Amino acid sequence: MIADYLEDVLNEAGYDVCGIAGDVDAAILLGKTCNPDLGLIDLRLADGRFGTEVAAALCALPGCGVLYSTGNPDHALLHNAVGTAVLAKPYTPEALVAALRVVRAHITQDSPMPGQPKGFRLLH
């Protein structure tokens, strides 16, 4: 239900959402099929595995940025995780859109870095 809501938020903000995946294998397959520019990945997925596995696969694709969403932004897995940034839960729809704009600016390096929303930080 939350993923469906976030899809609506992102569509309204002008993003094309290629799909929603609830587990690591489905997310990796979706990423390989769609070749996205951005990935919004929850740190802990429904199958008990972690979004860091998905991010490693997505970041192998050229020009893909990854934003982790988590209630534990200081989780040990994020210290050396492949990916671009993390956004702490709970967050507003506006904060999500702003965070994705920062991630996009960071990976393209073709525009000035926009302001960072509360609960957001770049990795590494």
CATH of the domain at 45: 3.40.50.2300
pLDDT at 111: 72
**SS3 of 7, please?**
helix
Provide the residue range defining the domain that includes 91. 2-122
Rounded to whole angstroms, the Cα distance separating 40 from 60 reads 15
> Could you tell me the CA-to-CA distances from 31 to 13, 25, 65, 88, 114 in Å, in that order?
21, 10, 12, 23, 26
- pLDDT tens per residue, the chain (124 residues)? 889 999 999 999 999 999 999 899 999 999 999 999 999 999 999 889 999 999 999 888 778 999 999 999 999 999 999 999 999 999 999 999 999 999 999 988 877 778 899 999 999 8
pLDDT at 55: 94
Total number of domains in the chain = 1
